[in-house]
Structure 1
Amino acid sequence: MTAPDLECTHLTKRFGDTTAVQDVSFEVPPGSFFSILGPSGCGKTTIMRMIAGFLAPTSGDIRIKGRSVLDVAPNKRPVNMVFQHLALFPMMNIAENIGYGLRRKGLPKAEITRKVGEVLERIGLPDIGARKVDELSGGQKQRVAIARCMVLEPDVLLLDEPLGALDLKLREHMKIELKALQAAFDTTFVYITHDQSEALVMSDNIAVMNAGQFEQVGSARDLYYRPETAFVAGFVGDSNRWRGQVMGVSGDTLQLRSENGLELRGSCHGRRLARNDTAEIFVRPEAIRLGHSAQDVSHFDNRLSGEVTSLLFNGAASRILMRPESGGEEIEVTLPQSGEFAHLDRGAQVHIGWSSDQGSCFAAGTA
């Protein structure tokens, strides 16, 4: 059986009385794109610095291709790292930047020239070797920073929020570029970010991290549609969220009376909840359907009516906010791109409905 490119086992890091990473274990298969997603301060950068060798774990093990690297110096580990601030050398041209690590290794000049030329071809910039860093666009600089790492042929490439300094449009473009580059080099990428869109778009698997621990590890689809914790449900994607008292549980379906008096149903998805427990239901805006009348949504087990209070225009991802006439907070609903509901105005009266299996239920206080 092929060993994972990266395996972390019971990884823990303490700084005095503060535990930054607590008993984290995960594997990254060869040639995959693995992301660690979480808010600032959750411990994801600490994990990356331990993998790179800049920090020693308090306990646990880090193995690359089956071999522990705890006793291996950072410059001897088969990993390389791309930082948010790319640290390209402005006094060197692009070919010199990319070949810097090879020169440090003492490779012959002819071999360096050949390897630099090959990696420039692979990143789609074959003719820029003689140009200066300040002559490149932001996206080109990103590719050069990756090329400088990949020319050293690491087993694992670590990327520490490398898109954070880019403008929005370029970030969107570079998400696709990074995934394509990872496939082109067939190298394992470990990527850390607080931006869920980056992780969802690029990753084969994602670990959602909170307060030093992994809440859930899985594919983007698993995290989005089957969150295992309230934190994941609230952090990954957008959700409507209600808190209240459990009025009853039948099979996997939970009935909840929200703090604002709404009667709602959701799915426990195998989690144990009982009558009188305090629980929360999370429902995605796109799971909610619009209707002109109560009859239009009568087939759903959750049905509400109310007034459109705001239009949140964002092209294909446009949404409305609807305030239920029975009270409570505004509910976010995704607008269809065409049809009779594509152009709702503020003040319109609408009916909404969704199925209980579209609501994920958790014990309150677990987020």
Structure 2
Amino acid sequence: MTSAPDLECTALTRRFGETLAVDDVSFSVPAGSFFSILGPSGCGKTTIMRMIAGFLEPTSGDIAIKGRSVLDVPPNKRPVNMVFQHLALFPMMNIEGNIGYGLRRAGMSKADIARKVDEVLERIGLPGIGKRKVDELSGGQRQRIAIARCMVLEPDVLLLDEPLGALDLKLRERMKIELKSLQAAFDTTFVYITHDQSEALVMSDRIAVMNKGRFEQVGTGQDLYYRPETSFVASFVGDSNRWRGTVERVEGGTAQLRTDTGLTMRAAAKGGAAKGAAVDIFVRPEAIRIGRDAADLAQFDNQLSGTVGSLLFNGAASRIIVTSDETGGELEVTLPQSGEFADLTRGAPIHIGWSAAQANCFAAGEG
């Protein structure tokens, strides 16, 4: 028999007066997985998190943990715990006191608390620091202590509400890797909400992209990045060149388009890309190849010549802005790290191309 998912939300809806914050959302999270809800501020992701934790009641729908509805279970009795952006560690307590706080409230003996605190400190890679004060820790160490304080209670599901938002960039990058490692070490189901696509892509087994109270797409990071299903997902996940255009014809899943800037282009036709339809067209900078001339890029469905307008240097993620000779429009193109085109400079003539399969078009206005 297949075991029930650790978390299952069915037709979850929440209204605040006339405002529909969460609109008929359903999803499940298998045991031991890392699931993220990604979306802009105000899309409803925190409302979902608060309903799972029990701080808000759904207007309708159900929330089940390990196959049992928890709608009638108060927050302090649900088998979940929550890490907030502001970690709220107790400064008057040492690390041991912070981690053992929930265990003391549960009535556990001092000996058992000490044992479990030592165990969890070992698992988060900070053994022997139980007597230290909170203000003696780095930002990353405090983050791990906040997680340890939750994990020592052995929840079925750990909810994380943008916990990296208050960290500086370098620490945030390191903590993305550490959080994924901690989740694997505890083998606990993590449900993570964020507006930062990099956090979601790096850490998650599956991601739900949320917009205006609904899930636009649920899938792996690769699904969302390479195979977006809506204009919103294509624009929100990763960077893309974007045009508005009109479909001239569709053949075998490929649309021939005319952009508002005058470019003729071929792209993979998604829902709504019928002849005469207005569409949004997306091409990622790394999908565009640089060549010496048209013959050098003969394998690509789309080509144009242009001039390097500027260089956006960012190490391995450096790009160039190409100004089209045909229309005067601009495109971002990933700069190769080696080879004859690695040292392009402003004003250099350039030829670029990309395949129809690596361009996507969707009915205009979805994003």
Provide the TM-score with structure 1 as the length reference.
0.99
Q: Which residue in the other structure is 2:320 paired with?
A: 320
Aligned equivalents of 1:315 and 1:228: distance in 2?
31
Match of 2:358 in 1: 358
What letter matches 1:153 in structure 2? E
Runs of 5+ unmatched residues, structure 2: none
* Letter aligned with residue 353 of structure 1: G
Asked if 1:121 corresponds to 2:129, the answer is: no
Check whether the contact 1:310–1:320 (CA below 8 A) recurs between aligned residues. yes
1:95-174 to structure 2, matched below 5 A, reads 95-174=96-175
Which secondary structure does the structure 1 equivalent of 2:309 belong to? Answer: strand
Deviation at 1:81, TM superposition (A): 0.3
Shift of 1:186: 0.1
Work out whether residues 231 and 366 of structure 1, in 8 Å CA contact, stay in contact via their aligned partners in 2: yes
Asked if 2 retains the 8 angstrom alpha-carbon contact of 1:253 and 1:265, the reply is: yes
Matches within 5 A, 1:1-367: 1-269=2-270, 271-367=271-367
Give the drift of 1:296: 1.4
Query: In 1, Cα distance between the equivalents of 2:136 and 2:336?
Result: 43
Distance 2:68 2:336 in 1: 52
One-letter code aligned to 1:324: S
Q: How far off its partner does 1:300 sit?
A: 1.1
Residues in 2 aligned to 1:78 and 1:331: alpha-carbon distance in whole angstroms: 50
Q: What letter corresponds to residue 343 of structure 1 in structure 2?
A: D
- Take 1:328 and 1:158, find their aligned partners in 2: how far apart are those partners? 48
Deviation at 1:32, TM superposition (A): 0.1
Secondary structure of 1:164 counterpart: coil
The answer on whether the counterparts of 1:257 and 1:264 sit within 8 Å (CA) in structure 2 is yes
Tell me, in whole angstroms, the C-alpha distance in 2 between the residues paired with 1:221 and 1:301: 23
1:125 match: secondary structure: coil
SS class of match (2:100): helix
Q: Secondary structure at the match of 1:228?
A: coil
Q: Does the aligned pair in 2 maintain the 1:285–1:332 contact within 8 Å?
A: yes
Q: Could you tell me how far apart the structure 2 residues matched to 1:122 and 1:219 are?
A: 27
Q: Does structure 2 conserve the Cα–Cα contact (< 8 Å) formed by 1:261 and 1:328?
A: no
Greater mean alpha carbon deviation, residues 42-51 or residues 304-313 = 304-313
Cα drift, residue 268 of structure 1: 1.2
Larger mean CA deviation between 180-189 and 314-323 belongs to 314-323
1:262–1:328 Cα contact (<8 Å) kept: no
- Deviation for aligned residue 1:244: 1.0
Report the TM-score, using the length of structure 2 for normalisation.
Answer: 0.99
Give the Cα–Cα distance (whole angstroms) in 1 for the partners of residues 7 and 223 of structure 2. Answer: 22
| Gapped regions of structure 1 (runs ≥ 5) | none
Q: Which amino acid aligns with 1:321?
A: I
In structure 1, how many angstroms separate the alpha carbons of the residues matched to 2:325 and 2:191? Answer: 48
Give the residue type in structure 1 aligned to 2:189. T
Distance 2:252 2:293 in 1: 30
Specify the code of the residue in structure 2 equivalent to 1:339: G
How far residue 245 of structure 1 moved from its aligned partner, in angstroms, is: 1.2
Equivalent residue pairs, number: 366
C-alpha distance in 2, partners of 1:329/1:140?
48
Equivalents in 1 of 2:295, 2:86: separation in Å?
Answer: 56
How far does residue 310 in structure 1 lie from its aligned partner after superposition?
1.3
Aligned-pair CA distance for 1:328: 4.5
Quote the Cα distance in structure 1 between the aligned partners of 2:299 and 2:184.
Answer: 45
State whether residues 303 and 353 of structure 1, in contact with CA within 8 Å, keep that contact through their aligned partners in structure 2: yes
2-side partners of 1:331 and 1:71: how far apart? 54
User: Per the alignment, in what secondary structure is the counterpart of residue 176 of structure 1?
Assistant: helix
Assess if the C-alpha contact under 8 Å between 1:6 and 1:65 holds in 2. Answer: yes
Deviations 1:62-119 (A, max 9, x none): 0000000000000000000000000000000000000000001010000000000000
Deviation at 1:343, TM superposition (A): 1.3
Between the aligned partners of 1:272 and 1:361, the Cα distance in structure 2 is 9
* Secondary structure of the corresponding residue to residue 90 of structure 1: coil
* 1:298 CA drift (Å): 2.4
Most deviating of 202-211 and 235-244: 235-244
Give 3-state SS (helix, strand or coil) of 1:60's partner: strand
What is the CA distance between 1:299 and its match in structure 2? 2.2
